[in-house]
């Protein structure tokens, strides 16, 4: 699933405006959750807050995990000695 979805009528409006003006610029503003055309047309969109945060911070699954590195290190430091080494 795409992180941003627009209603079909909004996509249709954007496409019609883009066809009407050669070189139309379309700006997607993720922090403000808007799509704006250089002719002044603007539409807002909803996005899952978690997806928005991940995209804005450039985080993939590994990056998200590494945000918890101090907690992971703390957990690992208390592993029982009878468990295999983490290395």
pLDDT tens-digit profile of 25-82?
999 999 999 999 999 999 999 999 999 999 999 998 898 888 889 998 888 888 887 8
Same domain, 14 and 26: yes
**Cα–Cα distances in angstroms (integers) from residue 35 to residues 40, 62, 66, in the given order:** 10, 29, 32
Provide the domain limits for residue 34. 1-46
Same domain, 30 and 18: yes
Report which of 40, 5, 42, 8 is spatially closest to residue 21, judged by C-alpha positions: 40
* Whether residue 2 has pLDDT greater than 70: no
Is 76 a member of any domain? yes
Question: pLDDT grade, residue 86 (50/70/90)?
Answer: low
Q: How many domains does the chain have?
A: 2
């Amino acid at each position: 699933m795409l992180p941003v979805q627009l209603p079909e009528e909004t996509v249709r409006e954007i496409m019609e405006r883009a066809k009407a003006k050669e070189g139309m610029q379309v700006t997607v503003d993720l922090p403000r959750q808007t799509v704006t055309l250089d002719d002044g047309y603007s539409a807002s969109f909803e996005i899952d807050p978690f997806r928005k945060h991940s995209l804005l911070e450039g985080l993939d699954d590994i990056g998200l995990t590494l945000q918890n590195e101090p907690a992971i290190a703390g957990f690992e430091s208390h592993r029982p000695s009878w468990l295999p080494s983490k290395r």
